[in-house]
Structure 1
Amino acid sequence: MGGVVPTTAKPKSSPAQGDFSIALIALTFLFFAWGFITCLNDILIPHLKSIFALNYTQSMLIQFCFFAAYFLMSLPSGAVIEKIGYQKGICAGLVVAASGCLLFYPSAGLRSYPLFLTGFFVLACGITLLQVAANPYVAILGTPQTAASRLTLTQAFNALGTAVAPYLGSIFILGVAVKPASDISGMAPAELALYRAAEAGSVQVPYLWMAAVLCAMAAVFSLVRLPEVEPGTSDPETGKEEYDPGSAWGYRHLKLGALGIFLYVGAEVAIGSFLVNYLGQPYVKALPEASAARYVSFYWGGAMVGRFIGSALQRLVNPARLLACNALVTATLTAVTMLTTGSMAMWAILLIGLFNSIMFPTIFSLAIAGLGRHTGKGSGIICMAIVGGAIIPLLQGGLADVVGLHHAFILPLMCYLYIAYYGLAGHKPRLSAPR
């Protein structure tokens, strides 16, 4: 690697420790907000499935459009972050996400599924920019050795948002029962108008509130002083300096980590997206949609609890080994839910959330370790891989239409096995480009 000199991590300024605390507190609220918004997709999927009479594959177009934005916008977002910085990037992401929320108002009023999908895409573009900016910023805002623990802790509040969202969504969105076409055709005009208004309002009002909150957060982040830091190129496990290959694509552990994120997000989203329908199956618990949606909170709530526990454990246990252990447990639980019925199948799949908990922040921090000046671009590459949330659920939806929902969970099981490999061996930093 002639002519390339390794760099060291150092702050652009020398903020006091209190400044780091203020930044982390502000970012914690940010992680909560986008977790809440993202998880509401799991509530809107069965709602829109009923309204528009969609099959499983068509309903998964919601997640496809949402997570396709990560694939299309992550690398441009990385370039934006390198140009305008983390703080302005966060503000821009909040404004774009608020714009996406506002699109849900006309979508519901016009009962237009394509317009709903457009709203999901714009909303996801904003969250993509937030992910590209906030995740690496938290990881480098302190010592490399505690990066995984620090990111896991902030992600715990992201999981708190995902735990609260299904419960509130079941009240405010699924609380309006969707009537079958035969009942709608027999309604009087006045009765039909009232029903349509209630149906639209169940989506419009919550997303108007979220748009307002996101705009308020953008105003706050434009005023809060966040410390400026530069990432280093040292391996957090060995402390040794890594050489710079000249491009983020030259790091093998980054590329394998991006694949890990692709499969992890795909598995997590696929399971969450199908939970309401899965718990409503006669061979599981035969729950109505509103009741099943409340149980989804156990799935995401488990992720929240697991991240608080995992943040502490990662200061005592090697994060990569903990990742491999959790992945093997989730693979086992997925197999159990496929092979059983009733309460056993239900609680096995809900328990997966607890062990999913540390996967995203741990894979992320391991994948960007030692990237130095390429950290922004590396973050973009990893966030681009979040498109797994679009591909895997769509594939599982197609599989469910063919073999049934019960056995379609073989797809997430295979994803978890790869993540176990990444924790055991694939995460080890080394350059894939020739020296």
Structure 2
Amino acid sequence: MSTLAIGEAIASLLRDGLPVRLEAFDGSVAGPDDADIRLELKNERGLAYLLTAPGDLGMARAYVSGDLVVHGVHEGDPYEAMRLLQNHLRFRAPSPLEAVSLLRGLASSVGLTNLLPAPPPQEALPRWRRTLEGVRHSLTRDAEAIHHHYDVSNRFYELVLGPSMAYTCAVYPTGEASLEEAQEEKFDLVCRKLGLQPGQRLLDIGCGWGGMVRHAAKHYGVQALGVTLSREQAAWAKEAIDADGLGDRAEVRHSDYRDVLESDFDAISSIGLTEHIGVKQYPEYFGWLHDHLRPQGRLLNHCITRHHNEVTSTGQFIDRYVFPDGELTGSGTIIAAAQDAGLEVMHEENLRRHYAMTLRDWCRNLVANWDECVAEVGVGTARVWGLYMAGSRLGFERNEIQLHQVLATRTEDGVDGFELRPHWRP
């Protein structure tokens, strides 16, 4: 079998032609000469990644390792390249004989001994390997999944997230609002929906770096307890609480929420946690929340959802590089699970477009602080974050993923504790 030019092979599978310029290490090219975006496949390892893990995982491996270089965009924000590729790359399905011929021809270009290169060090184990080492969504395995994603570097997160250190969807009061203004509005919206009053007790599960805990304690006078599975987040949050002089009203623990012994909370907020727990765990999760609220106590559940109610994984790239064991479904499934646990759902809101704007601003921060981010975590990890955030932005813009806030209460004897009309609008 003679070798096959890489550019020729890839172009032959595209229905509408290649919208970007592809330059491969074998000297072959494809796509328009004047394209604004240029892909450079630098070596055999990059091609082996593409051959052995077709789809988003193979592309991610090649990109993160530096074997596939995207010219025309910044590594911290490849959004424009991804948008163009998603809009114009439509692969036709080759016949079985054609597929075999293409694979053999390309394989002969790299040599069979190079077809299984080790994945980049940023990649987590595949799900089946994780399952062999621990039961999915056990306390131990959940802690390891959170460690993989969140214990990267507090300084890195400061550079990307900005002063708020809020790694969840912001709420933009206007299209011109800054990221910090939008994160402040998000925390305040949650406080308003929960109807927080001075002296009440708030539990914030999956509290991250303590932004919600500090905001509620400072502006609403509550006793706020936050828990996170990330040791790095808990340490950062304690320092921030002390710096704000909130030590008598706010606390962040390095703990699983299931280990919280206190109960009878006036309010519970869960901002960005539900994505990690697994849909099969929803009954246990919402049951736990119900049992830890006082009568008429309120729950605000804020999480990424699908635009449908099927249970779907997050995709191979997200699972291996970003959210190991992550799982998404629609807001209807979340509402049903809350209701089945005995909670009365009072309100839900979709903030999909707000998350696209949030991701846009995080990418801008990554680009602005690129050199320091690379120095802090390495260029491969920085590329992972640029790729992940730009791709997620596209997902929210295209309505492939959404962000829902679901507000519920522990109604007792028909008493829900709510006013006749919502009071949380500004």
TM-score, normalised to structure 2, is: 0.23
Name the structure with the higher strand share. 2
Q: 1 or 2 for the larger relative contact order (CA 8 Å, sep ≥6)? A: 1
Name the structure with the higher helix share. 1
TM-score, normalised to structure 1, is: 0.23
